[in-house]
Chains A and B, each alone.
Chain A
Amino acid sequence: SQQGEEDPQALSIQEGENATMNCSYKTSINNLQWYRQNSGRGLVHLILIRSNEREKHSGRLRVTLDTSKKSSSLLITASRAADTASYFCATDAVPGGSQGNLIFGKGTKLSVKP
């Protein structure tokens, strides 16, 4: 069953602008990850945030986690055309679920126009 759900489904911005994508999930989690997928390619891990963390940074990426609202956001600052891709959140350790399995949302398709 789907755990994470990204919002918006699609986002189009100009180069240099910031992009914010949101993920909501349904049950308690241990970790939440964000992945990126270029068109027709595999997914690439971007960042992992644990349930006891509220914010994490990696380069131009900033991830927040609000466990009370069961939501996370991914912010990409100073976007570039090369950031054009689909972005997925993934959660694990769904109660009763299998350890180590990741459950992905449908993704946000980001388009950055030069």
Chain B
Amino acid sequence: ETGVTQTPRHLVMGMTNKKSLKCEQHLGHNAMYWYKQSAKKPLELMFVYSLEERVENNSVPSRFSPECPNSSHLFLHLHTLQPEDSALYLCASSQERIAGNIQYFGAGTRLSVL
């Protein structure tokens, strides 16, 4: 195990639902990340948190709303999603947000939007 746990592993939601993805890391890291992985596309960085402060938002639509209540937990709140948002959502953490950092990934949440 990588020390990064994501729940749920699978999620099916309608376009009008509101749901949340959860990520927890047990590594004592200070930086956490949300990525979106779609078929045949590179991993897309969505949000970066460093010391519980959001430091990057890569032009992600407002229907995705991140929350980092403490350095061990990261949430991704979802509302009024579109079918094209169906993807594998991966959470990662690293010791610090510096060059050469190694990122540790959770197993991901497979999201299907109907």
Give the B-binding residues of A (Cβ under 8 A): 2, 30-31, 33, 40-45, 48, 50, 88, 92-93, 98-107
Residues of A within 8 A of B42 (CB): 2, 103-107
By the criterion CB–CB under 8 Å, are A43 and B99 in contact? no
- B-chain residues with CB within 8 Å of residue A104 when the two chains form the complex: 42-43
Given contacts A40-B88, A42-B2, whether A100 and B96 have CB atoms under 8 Å apart is yes
Q: How many A-B residue pairs have CB under 8 A?
A: 69
A102 to B44, CA, bound (A): 10
B-side contacts of A44, CB under 8 Å: 2, 105
- Report yes or no: A43 in contact with B48, Cβ–Cβ below 8 A: no
**Does B105 contact A30, Cβ atoms closer than 8 Å?**
no
Residue B106 interfacial (CB < 8 Å)? yes
Query: Do residues A41 and B107 form an inter-chain contact, with CB atoms below 8 A?
Result: yes
The docked-state distance in angstroms from the alpha carbon of A44 to that of B105 is 7
**Complex Cα–Cα for A100 and B45 (A):** 12
Which of A30, A40, A44 has the largest number of chain B CB atoms within 10 A? A40
What residues of A have a CB within 8 angstroms of the CB of B96 in the complex? Answer: 100
Residues in A with CB closer than 8 Å to B45 are: 101-103
Rounded to whole angstroms, the CA-CA distance of A53 and B98 in the bound complex is: 19
Q: How far is the CA of A2 from the CA of B96 in the complex (A)?
A: 23
Q: Are A50 and B102 in contact (CB under 8 A)?
A: no
B99 contacts A31, C-beta separation under 8 Å: yes
Chain A residues closer than 8 Å to B2, beta-carbon distance: 42, 44
Contact of B105 among A40, A43, A106 (CB under 8 A): A43
The answer on a CB contact under 8 Å between B48 and A40 is no
CB-defined contacts of A101 to chain B, threshold 8 Å: 45, 48, 56, 97
Given contacts A99-B98, A101-B48, A104-B43, contact A45 B56 (CB under 8 A): no
Q: A45-B104, A88-B43 are in contact. Are A100 and B99 (CB under 8 A)?
A: yes
Contacts of B107 in A (CB 8 A): 41-42
Known: A41-B108, A44-B105, A45-B103. A100 touches B31 (CB 8 A): yes
